[in-house]
Each structure stands twice: as C-alpha cells, then as structure tokens.
A and B are shown apart, each in its own frame.
Chain A
Amino acid sequence: MPRFSAGSYPAALSLVAVAALALSACSGGTSASGSAAGKTLVVDTSFNLKTADPGREFEPTGQIVDKALYETLLTFKGGDVTKPVPGLASSYEQSKDGRTLTLHLRTGAKFADGSAVTADDVVFSLQRVVALKGNPSFLLDGVTVTKTDASTVTLVSKKANPALPFILPNPALGILSAKTVQAHGGTATSADAAEKYLNTKSAGSGPYTLTSFNTNTQVVLAKNPKYTGSDKPTYDKIVIRNVQAPTQKLNVQRGDSQIALDLTSDQVGGLSGGLKVDSGASSDVIFLLLNQNTKVSGTTANAKFAEAVRKGIDYKSLLSLAGTGSVQSAGIIPSTFLGALPASQATARDLAGAKAALKASGIAKPSVTLGYASDLTVDGLSLQTLAERVQAQLKEVGITVTLAPAPTTTELDNYRNAKEQLGLWYWGPDYPDPSDYLAFLPGNLVGLRAGWQAGADPALTALGDKAATTIGDDARKALYEQIQTRLNASGPFIPLMQPSRNTVSAASVTGVAYNPVWTIDVAALGAK
C-alpha cells in the first residue's frame, strides 16, 4: 500500500471543535442583559401563542403578553381571583337582577400614544371581541355594551350574569385605542383586518408596549412611559422566550433567564443557585368521564359501574405522580375558586365498596376502553402515566381497562364528539368563576361530551339554572357546592386532581404570583 504523510491531521482537526467552542465563549456565555441591574427581565416559557390581538387571543402565552400590553376594565390583584379590583374602571355597580353592570372609567387614563382612554374605546374594543367570532368571543355572549356618558359604560346581559365582573379582567377583553386600530383596518365587525398591525405594535394603555412579536421565538416588551396605572413597572424591557422545560431549568439556573414557568415538580426538586420556587395547585382539573350514551357503552352508562370506578380510584396514589403542590379535586371546581368543595368532601378510595358496587351493577367482567391524548401533559403531568395508573387501580376492582392512546388532535375529535367510553381529560378555567363549570351539567358543553343529554337529571339542571342567575357570593357558594355534591354522587365525571404548577424565579426578582387567568403579571414583578 502506498504511504502518505498524514501525521499532523488529527491534531489540526481537533482544533476545529476547540475553535467553535471558543467562538461560543466569545459571545459571552451567560447574558449580562438578563439582570435586574440592566432592567431587562427574561421569562422562559413553552409558547402557546397565536396572536397578540386581544380580540383573537385566548392562549396562555397570549394572556401573559396582553396582560402587559392592555388594561382591562377590572382586574385581579396578584393571585387572588376571588375579588375583582379596579382597572380602567375605577368602580362598578351590578343591578339586583344581575343583568346590568355599570362601570365608571378612571380619569386621566391614557394610551401609550398619549391619547385619552374614552368610553368609545371601551365600547369599540368589547364589541370587536364579540364581532370577531374568535376564541374569546364567548366571554361576552349575550352581552350588549353601550356608552352611557363620556366616562361610563353599561354592559347589559340577556340573562343574569353574576360572573361578568370575574370575566372582565381577562386580557382578551383589553381595551384598545379605537382610533389607532381603525386606522389599521380594525372594525367591530368580522371584516376586521387589524390583527397584522396588532402583532407588530400594541394599541393599549398597559404598562408595556410591544417591541417585537414572533409566535415561535420570542416577544419583547418595552416599558410604557405614559402608563397611568398605579403600579409602575420595574423592568424597562421584558423578553418572553419560547423555551422547552429542560432548557428552561438550565437557563434559569445559569442566570440566562430570571423566570421559568413550566418546570415540573421533579425538575424543581434539584434546583440550586438561590432560586425561588413558588409551587401550588394548578387551576386545571383532571377528570375521568364515563359516557352515558348506551350506544357508546352500556357499561359506563350504568350508575353502579360509575360508583365502582369512583370508589375504586386511589386518589392519593395519583397525587404521587403529580408531585408536591398537587391536590385532589374534591369537586369539579378548583380549590381556589368560589364554590369549591372543601377537601374533607373529597372522595376516598373504598375498594370493598367499589367491588360491591360493581357486583350490584350486574355486569360480569366489565371491560371498557379509556381514551386519552397520549402526547398531552397537564402542568408537566403526562396523561399516559396517569392512564396507566388508573388502569392498574381499576384492575384491582375487577374492571378491565383497555388503554386507547392517540395524538391530541385525534383524541380531541373523539372527546368532543362524545365517542369515548371512558375519557381522561382536563378542564382549564376560562374565567375564575364557578359558572364556568356549569358546562359539566346535562345538555351543556362537557356534559354532552359524556353523552349526558339535557333532561338526564332535571334536579341538577334546575340547580344549575338557579346558580347561573343567583347574585351574592354566599348564595352562589351554597348552590355550587350542592351541584358538585350531586355531580360526585351520580354524575358521569370523576374529578381526580389539580396537578402542581411551579414558578421558578431568580433571587433578585420579587412579586412573583401565579394567577390562573394570565399565569404571571410581568408588570407586577420587582427587583431587589
């Protein structure tokens, strides 16, 4: 074989890798701009973002962004969603019949362009949300918005709507400058064409303005110097980046970011570097549904079988999958909302009772199929893992559960068309009011997904109708507790848990508070 000189190649080539890493090092490693001293705050989250247009957005990341860009008539302070507080409206009154809500606008409020916020802007913004027929349009279903005078607007609902003050803080109902939006193709009709503009520039009065917006990479916000609200933002610039959870952990530990929003309990367990972890129960409720349509499954429609499933689940064991901060859902309404059942009323496992109920059902060797989205995680908890645990627990009762995993897009179709025998899903609140959970009653949105037709439980329907129109927290609380008690006894839904959610922040960041509507209010964050 011919011989050639090649002795110097390996050493020379190994320099390529070293040079590349040196190049990396040249760029500075951890970012200096991510510090409080630089007044830039970097927030890492896994994006669920489609648009910055308040009339069209209803995704978690969109809520974070629009909360910073737009003021709403009412808002919530920190994580307390039990009491709406003034926003652009300094005060409000609700009529005794619950149909009319009168709001008085704060004087001196200005948009970022310096123009005054008027009642006309409010009317335009809210009417636009309804007209666009987008994801958030349902928030104002049956609500008519009118201008009473220059500083007063009136919202009239077709039916009593005690939840409206809890709905109005939603960032999707942020108030835009009508003049600006109209100048860029905006109308309060379905012909509106302002989304493109609103994805490049904001038109609100919030503490921040939009610098750049990309649904795949990052959103950059700059402090609004003309913000007229009471709590001025601390950071000059906010960078919200699209980063997956494992990378979020390393970024926040290294100081490349100051906030990580999507870490699981397992991931926050080994955190170091003086980071702060705010853990608690999420407002998402994971539940099992049993289809009541005998054509789909005669087994799951059997009341005694449902009782057997309910008693056969080991709820505490399921919580061990979700980690610290998760709680068992006593009812379908999350534990932090008005009307939530006390933890003492949560169903406990009763294996003997489950077997007895199964025997009473008259179904020998029952076998059912459990449909779920195998690629879906709820606050970091995989539904696949949860389904496997449920399967094992019900096997102890004598119920054979066949798992039927499918991609979310496929299984959503089965769920929404009421094709599942057993289903494993979750419900995230649209707004922090118990009326949002009336969807689980017979004939309503989720009830129908369980094949639970209107008229299937007239007493429960009557309770729901009454709760929907009753005014007064105490009376409402009592009604929603009754509804859930009845649901737990004979409904087709079995609430399992509220998984944990974690917000990790650098030691320098203050004021971190989880809010079930907008996750985090970046304008409320401070710096040490």
Chain B
Amino acid sequence: MSPRWVPSKGAGGKSTGVEGAGGGDGDRLPARRPTGRRLPGRRLLARHPLARFLLRRTATAVLLALGVTLVTFILTNLVPGDPAAANLGQRAIGDPAIVAQFRHHYGLDKPLPVQYVTYLGNLLHGDLGESQQSHQPVSTDLSTAVPATLELAGAAIVVSLIVGVAFGVVAALRRDRFTDQLLRVVSLLGVSVPTFWLALLAFYVFFYRLGWAPGSGRLDPGMTAPPDVTGLYTVDAALAGQWPVFWSAAGHLALPALVLTAYTVGLLTRFTRSAVLEVLNQDYVRAARAKGLPGRTVLFQYVLRAALVPVITVAGLAFGALLSGTVLVESIFAWPGLGAYAYRSATTLDLPAVMGVGLVVGLVYLTVNLAVDVLYGVIDPRVRVQ
C-alpha cells in the first residue's frame, strides 16, 4: 500500500485552500478563485490537510461501495440458477401462484436494472432488503453476524500483532541463530498449515481430549446472551456486569481466535523480521548506537517505528481477510459469524443477503485501507500530510 495520500503541492491548499481550484486549473481560471470570505468548512479543510484527505477518501469510498454493489449484483445474477427454485420447496415450486408471489415479494419479477435501482434507493434508507432464508431484514441478520466475526477477528488480530511483531523482532535480532531458525519454522508452519485443519485439531485436542476449552458456539448452552450494545459478547457482558456470561464468552472466543492467529502470526513474523533487518542496517541506527543510546531506546524509537510501515500494511490486509474469510473456522466452532452467513446465502442464492455481505466486506476493506493509510502518517512523519 503506497502512501497515496501525500498531496501534491498544488492541491496542498498553500495558495487557495480550495481543492477544486488548486493546481494548474486554478491558475488558468482565476475567475473561479474565491474572492470573498471563505466558508468555515473550506477554511477547516485548508488548515487541516488530514481532514481534507479523509473527506476525499470517504467520497472515494462511497463510489467504490457503489461499484461493489454493482459488481455483486451483476455476479449474483450471472450465476445460473433460480432463487425461487433454490428457496421454495419441491411442491411449492410446482405451483405458479406461489412462485409468482415469491418473485413479486422479492422484486424478482422486475427487470434487472429496475431491481438494481430499487436496491440502491432502499440502500439510501438503510434498507438492505429481506433475506429469503431467514425472512428477516438483511440488516438484522448482519447486525448479529458482523459483530460475531468482528469479535473473533479483532481478538485474533490483536494477539497476532503482539506475538507476530515480537517474534519478528526477536528473529531479526537473533538473525541466523537458533532462535531465528526456530521462529522461522514456527512462522512457516503457521502460514502453511490449513486453518480448517488446525481448527479441527485444536477443537479435538483442547475441547474433546483435554477438556480445557468449552464446546462450540459463542456461549455455554442455555446461557442467555448479554444485553445487545455492541454485539460483542465479551464487551456487552462486561458492560452489563454479567461476569459469568463474560467468562463464558471469553472462553468460547479464545480457541477459535488462537486458531486464526496461526496464519497471521506467521505472516507478521516474516514481514517484521525482514523489515527490522532492513532498518537495522540504516546509518541512523548505527549512529544512534554509536552515540551510546540504550539498546531498548534504539529498538523502539528508531528501529521498530520505521519497520512498522510494511507491517501495518500486512496487518491491515490480514484483518480484512479475517473478517471476510473465516468460513471454515466458523463452521467448525459453530460460530455464527459473517462467513457462515455468507456461505449459507451464496449456496441458497439468497440475493439480498449476498448483496449485503458483499457490501459489508467491501466496506471492511475500504475502512481498513483508510485506517492503514492514516496510520502510515502517524508512524512515519515522512509520509505525513503537509
């Protein structure tokens, strides 16, 4: 991910502060330059390049999200198969009146362009349509599925970052020594072992054989979910002070999250190692050492900070992948997340649900990309907005 948000001088707001009038166009069209008092919003944008950057990226994100809906809509309609046949029973499909009612209810009796425009119109009102499988608004389904996956992926990425970065740093510092070799094997195993296989193995060993982990699902059987605030059971249980529920939720979360960390830890270890090695050879690091700075200071303030840029890029992509690609792990642990919902929707041609999932996944990647780009600036002043 390149630091795309470093603005050009012309668009930097130095002369006019008006993005559309900046650069060469502004010079050729002096009449368009603002001559009176600037609007507060424009002044804000002129003074805060980050705000301008975020605004521009948000506008781009909206366009991209629109593109995601269009591509998803086209692809789902290109799949050979009839949603009515996939969702109606073997008898009901033989009744033209029932089939007609089904098509009418879901708007499938309208031409495709009309269906798409209707979808967009509803989307503006926050209506993602009704799932043909659950008979509920897709937004309702997603409001339970997304937090479930977010909790799982969030826990996994936090652990991955802590462990992966630490492993990578240690491996780099111990280059070609036993620790490095050991961590190389560990990280290669992490990225090579199929996650679904690891999930099955972990469930078998830690739940079935050893009894250390609880069974499948997000809570113990019969335990009532905490009051819904964030959808994250651990957080909601803590907020409500329901500590038995909290411990149950945390316990159920631990094993699948650990399984998911295997791949990302391996990935981050390798990337961190190579990034740290590259920085270690830089002159300014040698200079810092030569000045007699403590090793810890050099490591955290000179080496790690510079090495984190590529690591953040990989972590962002890994987080996106975790949010959208945990189907098999969710299946094994009976975790009712986005992956399980996406699989069910796709295999039953539940078009509104597929569209909803596509939109969410698209937004996840857009948000993660934006967050990563902002973090570049936080970590590395060289790519910060002028």
Contact = CB atoms under 8 A, between A and B. Distances in A.
B134 A216 contact: yes
Given A23-B254, A247-B333, 14 more contacts: A9-B166, A13-B167, A21-B212, A24-B255, A29-B212, A30-B214, A31-B222, A33-B221, A195-B135, A244-B332, A250-B208, A256-B215, A375-B347, A412-B85
Interface of B is mostly: helix
Interface string A1-43: 1111110011001001100110111111111011000101010
A214 B337 CA distance: 13
A119 B286 CA distance: 91
A217 interface: yes
A250 B163 contact: no
Contacts of B255: 20-21, 24
B248 A241 contact: no
B141 interface: yes
B129 to A, nearest CB: 16
19 contacts: A1-B281, A9-B166, A9-B167, A10-B183, A13-B167, A33-B221, A51-B135, A133-B98, A136-B89, A190-B101, A196-B136, A215-B134, A241-B217, A250-B215, A253-B208, A256-B216, A257-B215, A410-B81, A413-B82
Given A9-B170, A137-B98, A27 B92 contact: no
B298 interface: yes
B191 interface: no
A214 B251 contact: no
A226 interface: no
Category for how many chain B residues contact A: 35 or more
A269 B331 CA distance: 23
B133 interface: yes
B9 interface: no
B213 A25 contact: yes
B222 A27 contact: no
B374 interface: no
Category for how many chain A residues contact B: 35 or more
A490 B239 CA distance: 69
Given A17-B258, A24-B212, A24-B214, A134 B98 contact: yes
A31 B166 contact: no
B119 interface: no
Q: Which of A21, A215, A217, A410 has its CB near the most chain B CB atoms (within 10 A)?
A: A217
B222 A33 contact: yes
A111 interface: no
B91 A412 contact: no
Q: Which 6 A-B pairs have the closest CB atoms?
A: A27-B251, A256-B215, A409-B81, A24-B213, A135-B89, A217-B336
A190 B97 CA distance: 12
A138 B96 CA distance: 12
Contacts of A524: none
A6 B281 CA distance: 18
A216 B141 contact: yes
B82 to A, nearest CB: 5
Contact of B162 (A16, A33, A408): A16
A243 B141 contact: no
